């Protein structure tokens, strides 16, 4: 894995995960990257600047007013120098500063001045990571175009168990390698992806829905765009940020999704239907809130339009990919769906498997092709799984030519 010649500005803010940043500096240097390290004062309480200087073979920066070269302004020079800025670890404090435009030290000042892509590797206590203010600030940074390296789950330095551990240096390195060396093998392809749940109203207050978070569909849209595709993402109600270079269309009900998909499908080369669309909806929607009464209540349900089956009937040269989230007899049900809906590829997962259920950042899948070929995907991030699915889409496209 090589990042030869890439200029990486590593911003190290204070926290116990600073020791990981030292290991990351060494690994980046070993891959051929040129690394310059910028530290906050609190970061130097955990690891000395001398450690980073030794590992990076470059000066370490921490004081806005310590100008090493009188011919330039250090924080502006660093901001312009970088091909990529990586904040690792990124504390809640530094995330908050950057989200709100605060520039009160060298790191925050440099971050506001840079035009390079910014990657953020959060590291903090699980409750801090889950705090509404931190979540809001991270969403603000996403809207600014910052990329996030999701923290891991496990035992934290504070003794809590949960999400908040800084991503491992090896995983960060792998992600940066993919970022700098991502293929453009979907250049010119028009891809439609669906994601998330639908909501089927009962009355003005209540609705039927499911546990889908939209993470798999959003990962597919993001990775397809990175590989050069023109992506339209049609999504039900989710709390995810729109991936870069992706056109997003928001819907609520299965009927709305049906109409948007049909409108987009005509000009698409690839259709990837990852949404968990409701199979049934209330036959009657009350115009006023339904009041509770004694005894039980029955709600008559009617079928929604089958988007995947309709696409299978109308497709010409498009590649059609479906999903099967099952809790039993995975292969049997997935194979039946593949045939019945005239799919080219189906991505099947058992929602009871550890790490493969709804609202997870990981997945375990079996990919079944119409020609009988199958591929087992072990536990991996949804972004990695998305790229494996897109690899299969490329293979299907090549075999048709």
Q: How many CB atoms are located within 10 Å of the residue 176 CB?
A: 23
pLDDT at site 47? 94
Same domain, 351 and 209: yes
Expressed as residue numbers, the domain containing 277 is 190-400
For the chain, count helices (H), then strands (E). Answer: 13, 20
Q: Whole-model pTM?
A: 0.62
Active site residue 146: no
How does pLDDT run across 222-265, given as a tens digit for each residue? 999 988 899 999 999 999 989 888 999 999 999 999 999 999 99
pLDDT of residue 401: 58
Per-residue confidence (pLDDT) for residue 1, from 0 to 100 = 56
Question: CA separation (Å) from 46 to 20, 52, 89, 292?
Answer: 11, 12, 12, 59
In a domain, 1, yes or no: no
Residues 171 and 88 occupy one common structural domain: yes
Q: Copy the structure tokens of residue 358.
A: 């709804």
Coil, strand or helix at 301? strand
pLDDT tens per residue, range 132-148 = 999 899 888 887 878 88
* H helix intervals, 202-241: 215-226
Q: How many domains does the chain have?
A: 2
User: In this structure, are 198 and 115 located in the same domain?
Assistant: no
Q: How far apart are CA 285 and CA 293, in angstroms?
A: 18
| Tokens matching residue 84 | 């990529």
Distances (CA, A) of 75 to 48, 117, 268: 20, 16, 46
Residue 375 lies in a domain: yes
Per-10-residue mean pLDDT of the chain, 401 residues long, equals 86 92 94 94 94 94 77 79 94 94 93 92 88 90 83 65 79 84 84 97 95 94 92 96 91 97 95 96 94 90 96 93 88 91 92 76 88 86 89 84 58
pLDDT of amino acid 337: 93
pLDDT for position 162: 63
Domain end (from 162, 181, 200): 181
Q: How high does pLDDT run on average in the chain? A: 89
- pLDDT for 71 equals 64
Instruction: Check whether residue 267 and residue 395 sit in a common domain.
Output: yes
| DSSP string for residues in 162-197 | EEEEPPPHHHHHHHHHHHHH---TTTT-EEEEEESB
CATH code, 107: 3.40.50.1950
- Given the residues 11, 146, 158, 347, select the one marked as catalytic: 158
């Amino acid at each position: 894995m090589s990042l030869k010649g890439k200029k990486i500005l590593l911003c190290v803010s204070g926290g116990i995960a600073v020791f990981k940043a030292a290991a990351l500096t060494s690994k980046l240097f070993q891959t051929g990257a040129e690394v310059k390290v910028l530290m906050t004062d609190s970061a130097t309480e955990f690891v000395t600047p001398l450690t980073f200087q030794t590992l990076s073979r470059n000066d370490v920066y921490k004081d806005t007013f310590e100008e090493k070269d009188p011919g330039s302004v250090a924080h502006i020079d660093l901001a312009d120098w970088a091909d990529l800025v990586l904040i690792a670890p990124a504390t809640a404090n530094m995330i908050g500063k950057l989200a709100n435009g605060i520039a009160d030290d060298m790191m925050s000042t440099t971050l506001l001045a840079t035009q390079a892509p910014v990657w953020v590797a959060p590291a903090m206590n699980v409750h801090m990571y889950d705090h509404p203010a931190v979540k809001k600030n991270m969403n603000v940074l996403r809207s600014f175009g910052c990329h996030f390296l999701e923290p891991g789950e496990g035992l934290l330095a504070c003794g809590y168990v949960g999400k908040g551990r800084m991503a491992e240096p090896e995983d960060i390195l792998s992600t940066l390698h993919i970022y700098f060396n991502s293929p453009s093998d979907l250049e010119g392809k028009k891809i439609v992806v669906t994601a998330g749940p639908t909501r089927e109203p009962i009355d003005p207050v209540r609705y039927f829905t499911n546990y889908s978070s939209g993470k798999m569909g959003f990962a597919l849209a993001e990775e397809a765009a990175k590989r050069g595709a023109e992506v339209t993402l049609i999504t039900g109600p989710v709390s995810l940020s729109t991936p870069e270079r992706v056109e997003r269309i928001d819907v609520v009900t299965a009927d709305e999704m049906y109409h948007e998909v049909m409108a987009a499908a005509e000009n698409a080369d690839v259709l990837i239907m990852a949404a968990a669309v409701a199979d049934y909806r209330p036959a009657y929607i009350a115009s006023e809130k339904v009041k509770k009464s004694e005894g039980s209540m029955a709600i008559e349900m009617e079928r929604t339009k089958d988007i995947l089956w309709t696409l299978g009937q109308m497709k010409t040269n498009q590649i059609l990919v479906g999903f099967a989230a099952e809790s039993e007899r995975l292969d049997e049900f997935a194979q039946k769906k593949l045939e019945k809906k005239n799919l080219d590829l189906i991505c099947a997962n058992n929602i009871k498997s550890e790490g493969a259920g709804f609202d997870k950042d990981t997945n375990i899948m079996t990919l079944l092709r119409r020609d009988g070929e199958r591929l087992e995907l072990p536990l991996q991030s949804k972004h990695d799984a998305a790229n494996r699915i897109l690899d299969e889409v490329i293979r299907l496209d090549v075999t048709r030519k």
